[in-house]
Amino acid sequence: MSEPALHHVSCPDSSGGHRMACWQWGDAHAPRVVVCVHGLTRQGRDFDVLARALLAQAQAAGQGVRVLCPDVVGRGQSDRLREPMGYQYPTYVADMLTLLAQLHAQAPITQLDWVGTSMGGIIGMLMAGMPGLPLPVPLTRLVLNDVGPGIEWSAIQRIQAYVGQAPTRFATPQDAAAHLRTLSAGFGPISDADWMTLTQPMLKPLPDGGWCLRDDPAIATPMLELTADAVAQGEATLWQAYENTRAATLLLRGIDSDLLTAATAERMGACGPRARLVEFAGVGHAPMLIDDEQVRVVLEFLAPQGAA
């Protein structure tokens, strides 16, 4: 399959509900599921390269796989929330549980792996380490892409300076790509062609011409209200979830990352699931998982059981 199928799942909320979009690759009935969840202002098509590689890997092993790449609510093809303060982790976790429950009802899930970049990794840690969640099966393997329980306040301040501040109109997709690139130096060296491929799903044509970003500017609302004390309190919750995690864990880090420090990565290797660390030179926050070496590392960790 060279292109994913787009599905929507209805999710409850206090304002009457919303729909979350999910890009599904591979065998819709495969018992093995890999969920790939993007960062704060991104969307599920960021994982196209990795999804195709996972499908090819499974096919070579004679096995099936479902790769799910949701657009977290407020991003991509998903609805916007009526209440901006809903753009927080309890909503995101609840939406993922709703997605997995519906897919499990359609075709039983027997193995569940997770790849999460930044925000998507935090969602993954909560899914893996919060007791009592109604998961169809526990997470087997967890890939945390440039994120951990320890979040640097200076990185939060950097994000606060740009999130929700994008222009409301771009004359061309190229203008939008240039704007996004100025905010994304940490992604590392990416060719112009690859960057345009990553940008296209972020854009929506305007009725009077031009383009705008699909993400809801209101996703910034809870982020802008964060304080250093609130971040510290959130860290305590995340460290507890990490300590509770039983999934085998791979930690990816851009060596120049300002969000995941070397000290946090070292601590993650010594407690909880004792994450195996792989670092990438020339990259900050966060590796985009389209580079051949980055994809290879993830594929080796997520290799189908019984495959070389």
Q: What is the CATH number of the domain that holds 92?
A: 3.40.50.1820
3-state secondary structure 132-146: CCCCCCCEEEEEEEC
pLDDT attached to residue 1: 56
What tens digit of pLDDT does each residue of 247-270 get?
999 999 999 999 999 999 999 999
Domain annotation covers residue 297:
yes
- For the stretch 125-151, pLDDT in tens is 999 999 999 999 999 999 999 999 998
> What is the rounded distance in angstroms from the CA atom of residue 238 to the CA atom of residue 256?
23
Evaluate if residue 307 carries a pLDDT over 60.
no
Please tell me the predicted confidence (pLDDT) of residue 98: 98
Per-residue confidence (pLDDT) for residue 306, from 0 to 100:
55
Residue 176 belongs to a domain: no
Domain annotation covers residue 241: yes
Domain containing residue 288: 5-164+215-301
Residue 145 inside a domain? The answer is yes
**Please, are residues 258 and 154 in contact by the beta-carbon 8 Å criterion?**
yes
**89 is a domain residue:** yes
96 within a domain of the structure (yes/no): yes
Instruction: For residues 48 and 283, give the distance between their C-alpha atoms in angstroms, rounded to a whole number.
Output: 20
- What's residue 276's pLDDT? 98
What's the domain count of the chain? Answer: 1
Structural domain contains residue 292: yes
Asked, for residue 187, whether it belongs to a domain, the answer is: no
